[in-house]
Structure 1
Amino acid sequence: MSAKFYLGPGRPLTSLSTWDEVQLAGSGGLLGENQWVELKKDLGPANAGVNTELARDLASLSVDGGLLVFGVTDDGTPVGCNTASIGTRVSQVAAMGITPALSPVLHAPIPHPEDPTKTILVVAVPPSPVGPHMVDGRYWGRSSDGKRTLSDPEIRRIMDQRAEQVGAFEQRLRELPDRDPLIPLIAGQQSNGHVYLLAEPVAAMPVTNLAGTEGLRSALHGVSRSGWATGLDSCTSNAHDPEGAALAWSSQPVEARDEHWLTYVSVKDDGRVLVVGGGATAEWTGPRPADHEVVLHGLIATLTVQWIEVLRELALNRWGYQGEWRMGIHCTNLMGKTAQTNGLRASEVRFKEPDYTRAMVSSLMAKEATLLADNLLAGLYRGLGYEGWTTTQVLRGR
């Protein structure tokens, strides 16, 4: 599926993967310079002045996210240019000419239909979680007329907003058990620990366009198959969520002994993606003399990977959002429990905290879902005696 980009309010998500698509966007008035788009016919020679100007462009786009497009004139006409070295220069300037450094996303060059020496290069600059960014002693942002320096009050406001957003996300993550959507589906009193996975876009999501529960059901089709009797691939029942679209493993209450099979996934209208699983812990019959409560870290890992896969499908292929995400996990009722050891090297280590919480900011562009899951779950594995284990190993152990 071709990449789709946000070009500003009132403009549809637009694919810019071929010359014809760029030409159509330009002639239709979609591809014009504004707060989210900077167009350049060419980059120019590799000297200090040109590189500083490039750094300012990148830094200015990082506040809200946007595109830097080479080989297109100011009026949106595609002409192409020699982009052979532009990608390298963009990466170098972003890393060395901007404070803090940036990591723009370079898309595959778009070939000119008649001139093999010319291409168009689309560079996506995700909204930065550590912005604003400084070039040559000044912070840069954008207005409808293009890049501009930011005033001191604007800089303070942006930095205060970033700090508030981080604290608010972690608070929302820890408060998820108070609004647990699985509780009405448990016929009896909740006894298991639950796992909560929450992702929010760092920048405001411009367009979601999920198309309700059917759109969510379609997004779940590509997730990895679960080795358990539950998982996002088994969420086929419509569920209620006044803030968005939701699906669940079951729409009918289940006995408390089956609580660990319950799974719920919701996509909010503002782009948040929530997964709740009823099996962070469960009573388990295993090789020991009696039934005992264990941490189902294999199920936790499965849900985490599937959640990341759905998030990537929605963000990159359906919403055109290539920015970073705040991602977090919160598992409850872990104190004193060992890992469920079915198929995995046994460990007698008991988890020493009542809950496990981990939050991070990450792009979805580069890393595999299992590697992103490693960042979220490494502390959980360590707390269960599996120092250095990876999510891939845990899933194979299942």
Structure 2
Amino acid sequence: MNTKTSFYLGPGRPLTVLSTWEELTEAGAGGLLGEHQWVELKASLGPTNKGVNTELARDLASLSVDGGILIFGVADDGTPVGCDATSIAQRVSQVAAISVTPPLSPFVHDPVPNPDDDSKAVLIVTVPPSADGPHMVDGRYWGRSAHGKRTLSDPEIRRILDQRTEHHGRFEQRLQGLPDRDPLLPLIAGQQSNGHVYLLAEPVGPILAANLSDPDVLRDALRGVTPSGWHAGLDQCPSSAHDPDGAALAWTSHPVEATDEKWLTYVSVKDDGRVIVVGGGATAKWRMPGGDEQEAVLHGLIATLTVQWIEVVRELALNQWGYQGEWRVGIHCTKLMGKPAQTNGLRAADVRFKAPDYTKAMVSSLMTQDVTLLADRLLAGLYRGLGYEGWKTKQVLTRR
């Protein structure tokens, strides 16, 4: 079920829904709409020329450091007045992509119409915190203060860049550390023999919605994933699982024999919005062409879990939490060394993976691309290592 987006309007201000003219009017009258570090107000957007577009680009770049909103059709005192919003959305997207370096992808919400004038509306643009910040416009980096946008000093730029590098390094450490806290181990009757797949998504900016780890919300999100066609998959996770830091569902809550380890699947949503998926079938014994059974990399199952995990993150972010920001996402697969793909019927040679593990991390909005294209970016190295040079996830999912 879709929920209304609540906007963060700065410290000391409550999360506020601004989906109707009445809500905008009440927020303005209550002093919630004011221009500061997290909010930029514009009564309208001027004509299309270099000066106006450059000013717009500076607004977008400045808000991207900590995240914020840009509101068109609201006066400086917070009163909604409306403006001609018909072309603003396109101009915002174009300016963000062309005039800001690196480019930005702000989220433009549906216009809020003025009930007394059909030609006018208020348009809200969310600019999430950017993992690529700070952003440059016209040769200068931009940030914000309590009084609005401003250029950043050299020490501030270095600090933000150092923080960006540190955040990425810590994310990769957490990703590669997931096997040390593998939730599937208590469910294996005996010793783990398969390689496992670990998928981690962390929001770049804070998610301000309530009940992030509501198990019913997670269960609803799983209902919308693409059916796997495997005995394992997020669509095959009906059992509640224990997670002290959030809510979790699993393929089963009871121990299974080692022969069924590959079907074990676990998904968790943490209290801070992290989404983790663990699968027990990165590698497993598999009957290969010719009838022989050997340890193989189940790249089809890995691809399936990756696509389903992205679908769950998107569903939670957009339709449950109202979060349009970027995500740090990554995959880590273990025990791959010396193993071929689950079938060699599609390859000319018997290629075996030449590294113990496979790890790939990146930053993405997750919202603007096809899920299989996002999976391609995460899994291209895995396919290549198995001899599938140039293969795409859509091909992998249809030819196991």
TM-score, normalized by length of structure 2?
A: 0.91
Partner of 1:267, secondary structure, is: strand
Matches within 5 A, 1:166-205: 166-205=168-207
The letter of the residue matching 1:214 is D
Is contact 2:212–2:273 with CA below 8 Å preserved after alignment?
no
> Could you tell me whether the CA contact under 8 Å between 2:268 and 2:275 is conserved in 1?
yes
Query: Which of 268, 280, 287 pairs up with 2:289?
Result: 287
| Contiguous gaps of at least 5 residues in structure 1 | none
In the alignment, the residues of structure 2 paired with residue 236 and residue 227 of structure 1 have an alpha-carbon distance, to the nearest angstrom, of 16
Match of 1:55 in 2: 57
Question: How far has the Cα of 1:379 moved from its partner?
Answer: 1.5
Label 1:256 to 1:11 Cα distance change in 2 as closer, same or farther (>3 A).
farther
Matches within 5 A, 1:1-398: 1=2, 4-7=5-8, 8-9=10-11, 11=13, 13-27=15-29, 29-207=31-209, 209-341=211-343, 345=346, 348-398=350-400
Moved more, 354-363 or 16-25: 16-25
Q: Is the 8 A contact 1:32 1:39 kept in 2?
A: yes
Deviates more, 1:271-280 or 1:363-372: 363-372
Q: Secondary structure at the match of 2:208?
A: coil
Q: Given the superposition, is the C-alpha separation of residues 211 and 386 from structure 1 closer, same or farther in structure 2, using an over 3 Å criterion?
A: closer
Which secondary structure does the structure 2 equivalent of 1:95 belong to? helix
AA aligned opposite 1:6:
F
Q: CA deviation at 1:247?
A: 1.5
Alpha-carbon distance in 2 for matches of 1:277, 1:86: 45
- Shift of residue 12 of structure 1? 5.2
Q: Following TM superposition, by how much is the alpha carbon of 1:83 offset from its aligned partner in structure 2, in angstroms?
A: 2.2
Distance 1:338 1:229 in 2: 21
Report the Cα distance in structure 1 between the residues aligned to 2:333 and 2:203, rounded to whole angstroms.
Answer: 22
Change in Cα spacing, 1:65 to 1:285, as seen in structure 2 (3 Å) is same
Q: Structure 2: which amino acid aligns with 1:329?
A: I
Q: What is the Cα deviation at residue 37 of structure 1?
A: 1.9
Question: What secondary structure sits across from 1:276 in the alignment?
Answer: strand
Q: How far apart are the structure 2 equivalents of 1:82 and 1:130?
A: 32
Q: Give the Cα–Cα distance (whole angstroms) in 1 for the partners of residues 263 and 125 of structure 2.
A: 43
AA at the equivalent of 1:270: D
Query: 1 CA distance for matches of 2:189 and 2:146?
Result: 56
Equivalent pairs counted in the alignment come to: 397
The residue type equivalent to 1:263 in the other structure is: T
- The one-character-per-residue Cα deviations of 1:267-292 (angstroms, maximum 9, x if unpaired) are 11122111000000111234334311
Give, as a single letter, the amino acid of the residue that structure 2 aligns with 1:242.
P
C-alpha distance in 2, partners of 1:171/1:261?
A: 26
Q: What is the alpha-carbon root mean square deviation over aligned residues?
A: 2.3
**CA displacement at 1:17 relative to structure 2:** 4.3
Q: Which moved more, 1:197-206 or 1:355-364?
A: 197-206
Counterpart of 1:345, as a letter, is: L
Q: Describe the superposition over 1:133-191 as per-residue Cα deviations: whole angstroms up to 9, x where unpaired.
A: 22344322223332233333322211110010111111221121111111111111111
Q: Which amino acid aligns with 1:377?
A: L
Q: Which runs of 5+ in 2 are unaligned?
A: none
82-91 or 162-171: bigger deviation: 82-91
Q: Secondary structure at the match of 2:384?
A: helix
SS at match of 1:122: strand
